[in-house]
């Protein structure tokens, strides 16, 4: 049987640090980029040996900001993937920052067929507060340019930002979803280490309360629906047929290879994480590989992961497939949880899922199954 896996490549460089971001990234440094790309190419070679016989069907360049990579570097990485792996590409995505110089035509020539633009908002004041380098007119121009070259254009939006208003959410959601076929709408989650957390704790800004946040989400969702985009995951909306195939692998618990400093991967029953240390990644690679932390996912963890991820999707749990995969009777072993969650869950033939208007309760629902 043909084994297929997705391939995620992390590019840990950014133009500057956004105030809310805790992804691993550093400021652009030409020498570091050169060495990083060399190390990445080496890791691609090693990973292809480890994944002998595997076919890569989705590629995702994320970050950081992959669009800050010089074209020659991007070309080198992609050439190395094609040279070392068996590829049968169904989707090839690159994340791009509207503030960077994006050569859409060259990206297409490299075989990239999907672009994800980090727009976040179309309100200039808000963009400044969160430390983005672009403004709304730069973002709109990027979207229009992207649409000339790509059929699959996605935009990231954020809700729950400091000082954000419902009108701002409505405006961004409406303009963006009338221009592109896919939107990822992320809810702000702050770790203590980021600059915005400090600004909040000092009282410089405040965050919308929970009810306001739910209003933002619901209003944006109804705008997306009006513009023809369906929700296929809590934070992801698309015209039918434009769902992200690579990201669906994460939610469906399918295998993917992660390459680059701070990348995650999932193969067999192992989840691994490559350390977020650029210098170590670059030097360590000369001796064989980026340093990984691996975790063996035991039966119980796998079962809970499946429940947690499936409830993020409108289709929820496929009972038959679940029973087969875990050799259980889902409705029997979780009968007390299903009884307790009856007002929130729906059973339709072979699927159990969260009611349309309760999807934001997904984490709480999943936690019930952990006990
Ligand atoms: S551009 Fe993206 S990865 Fe880079 S700092 Fe901003 S949010 Fe983080």
pLDDT mean across residues, the chain: 94
Last residue of a domain, one of 234, 251, 268: 251
Give domain status of residue 138, yes or no. Answer: yes
Give domain status of residue 302, yes or no. Answer: no
279 sits in which H/E element: helix 278-284
The range of the structural domain enclosing residue 328 comes to 315-370
Task: Give the chain's domain count.
Answer: 2
Q: Do residues 7 and 58 lie in contact, with contact meaning Cβ atoms separated by under 8 Å? A: yes
> Residue 63 belongs to a domain with what CATH number?
3.20.20.70
- Tens of pLDDT, residues 113-155: 999 999 999 999 999 999 999 999 999 999 999 999 999 999 9
**Per-residue pLDDT averaged across 178-184, rounded?**
98
- Say whether both 326 and 203 belong to one domain: no
Give domain status of residue 166, yes or no. Answer: yes
Last residue of a domain, one of 251, 276, 293: 251
**Per-residue pLDDT averaged across 286-296, rounded?**
70
Specify the residue with its C-alpha closest to ligand 1, atom 3: 64
The confidence score (pLDDT) of residue 284 equals 73
- Say whether both 238 and 357 belong to one domain: no
- Say whether both 120 and 240 belong to one domain: yes
- Say whether both 159 and 241 belong to one domain: yes
**Per-residue pLDDT averaged across 16-33, rounded?**
90
Q: What residues are paired with 272 via a beta bridge?
A: 265, 294
Specify the residue with its C-alpha closest to ligand 1, atom 8: 21
**Per-residue pLDDT averaged across 9-21, rounded?**
94
37: closest CA among 4, 6, 16, 64? Answer: 64
Mutate to test the pocket of ligand 1, among 20, 21, 94 (most ligand atoms within 8 A of CB): 21
Give domain status of residue 58, yes or no. Answer: yes
- Say whether both 156 and 231 belong to one domain: yes
Say what angle helices 71-84 and 30-50 make with each other, to 10 degrees: 10
The set of protein residues with a Cβ atom below 6 angstroms from ligand 1 is 14, 17-18, 21, 23, 25, 63-65, 97, 118
Atom of ligand 1 nearest to the CA of 63: 3
Whether pLDDT at 292 is above 90 = no
Give the contacts of 149 (CB within 8 A, at least 6 positions apart).
104, 105, 107, 108
- Say whether both 77 and 219 belong to one domain: yes
Give domain status of residue 104, yes or no. Answer: yes
**Dist. CA 18 → ligand 1 center (Å):** 6
Give domain status of residue 298, yes or no. Answer: no
The confidence score (pLDDT) of residue 9 equals 97
Q: Do residues 165 and 195 lie in contact, with contact meaning Cβ atoms separated by under 8 Å? A: no
Mutate to test the pocket of ligand 1, among 13, 14, 28 (most ligand atoms within 8 A of CB): 14
């Amino acid at each position: 049987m043909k084994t297929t896996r997705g391939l995620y490549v992390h590019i840990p460089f950014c133009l500057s640090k956004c105030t809310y971001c805790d992804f691993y990234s550093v400021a652009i440094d030409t020498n570091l980029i050169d060495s990083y790309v060399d190390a990445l190419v080496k890791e691609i070679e090693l990973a292809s040996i480890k994944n002998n016989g595997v076919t890569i069907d989705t590629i995702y360049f994320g970050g950081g900001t992959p669009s800050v990579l010089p074209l020659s570097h991007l070309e080198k990485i992609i050439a190395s993937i094609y040279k070392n792996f068996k590829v049968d590409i169904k989707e090839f995505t690159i994340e791009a920052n509207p503030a960077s110089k994006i050569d859409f035509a060259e990206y297409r020539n490299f075989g990239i067929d999907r672009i994800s633009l980090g727009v976040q908002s179309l309100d200039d004041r808000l963009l400044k507060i969160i430390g983005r380098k672009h403004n709304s007119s730069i973002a709109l121009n990027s979207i229009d340019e992207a649409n000339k070259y790509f059929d699959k254009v996605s935009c990231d939006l954020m809700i729950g930002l400091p000082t954000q208003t419902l009108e701002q959410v409505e405006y961004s959601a409406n303009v963006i979803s009338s221009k592109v076929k896919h939107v990822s709408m992320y809810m702000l989650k702050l770790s203590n280490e980021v600059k915005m957390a400090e600004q909040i704790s000092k009282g410089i800004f405040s965050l919308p309360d929970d009810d306001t946040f739910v209003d933002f989400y619901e209003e944006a969702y109804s705008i997306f629906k009006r513009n023809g985009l369906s929700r296929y995951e809590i934070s992801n909306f698309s015209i039918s047929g434009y769902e992200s195939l690579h990201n669906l692998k994460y939610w469906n618990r399918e295998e993917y290879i992660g390459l680059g400093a701070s990348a995650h991967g999932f193969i067999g029953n192992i989840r691994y994480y490559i350390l977020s240390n650029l210098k170590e990644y670059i030097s360590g690679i000369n001796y064989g590989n980026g340093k990984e932390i691996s975790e063996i996912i035991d039966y119980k963890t796998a079962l809970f992961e499946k429940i947690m991820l499936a409830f993020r999707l409108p289709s929820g749990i496929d009972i038959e497939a679940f029973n087969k995969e875990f050799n259980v009777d889902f409705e029997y072993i979780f009968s007390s949880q299903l009884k307790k969650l009856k007002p929130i869950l729906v059973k339709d033939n072979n699927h159990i899922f969260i009611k349309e208007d309760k999807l934001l309760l997904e984490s709480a629902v999943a936690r019930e199954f952990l006990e």
